[in-house]
A = this chain, B = another copy of it.
Amino acid sequence: MSTHSLDATFAALADPTRRAILARLASGETSVTDLAAPFDMSLAAVSKHLKVLERAGLIARGREAQWRPCRLEAAPLEDASQWIGQYRRMWEQRLDRLENELAAMHRKEKARSRKR
């Protein structure tokens, strides 16, 4: 898991259009024209986003077919997920604690309103 590729992966994910492109590619490879269709932006703007994704290794472009289909590359997402996952246990404990505190507060609140 290299530092450089995590930088590029997270930077690439920090944009709603690029995340939407990845979401679309998760269901299969697609032409640039089809990818661009749902977005209210020029083909050039979409191509720019694709280049960021390609440099980060998140997508690859086919070389065979003339329409050069885009497809998702799994490895960088896996690395990003593993990085975040290291802290899962820690944050799950914290979220559990917060939920317990909230539940206790709600119980107290109820008990108090019953007394009134």
Check if A44 is an interface residue, CB within 8 A of chain B: no
Contact between A22 and B72 (Cβ–Cβ < 8 Å)? no
Give the docked Cα–Cα distance between A10 and B6 (Å).
Answer: 10
Check if A41 is an interface residue, CB within 8 A of chain B: no
* Segment of A12-20, A32-40, A102-110 engaged in the interface with chain B: A12-20
Which residues of chain B have C-beta atoms less than 8 A from A91's C-beta? Answer: 72, 74-75, 77-78
Contact between A83 and B19 (Cβ–Cβ < 8 Å)? yes
Check if A23 is an interface residue, CB within 8 A of chain B: yes
Give the docked Cα–Cα distance between A78 and B15 (Å).
Answer: 18
Give the docked Cα–Cα distance between A77 and B85 (Å).
Answer: 9
Check if A65 is an interface residue, CB within 8 A of chain B: no
Check if A43 is an interface residue, CB within 8 A of chain B: no
12 sampled A-B residue pairs with Cβ under 8 A: A6-B14, A6-B16, A9-B14, A10-B10, A26-B86, A26-B87, A72-B87, A72-B91, A74-B94, A75-B95, A78-B91, A81-B84
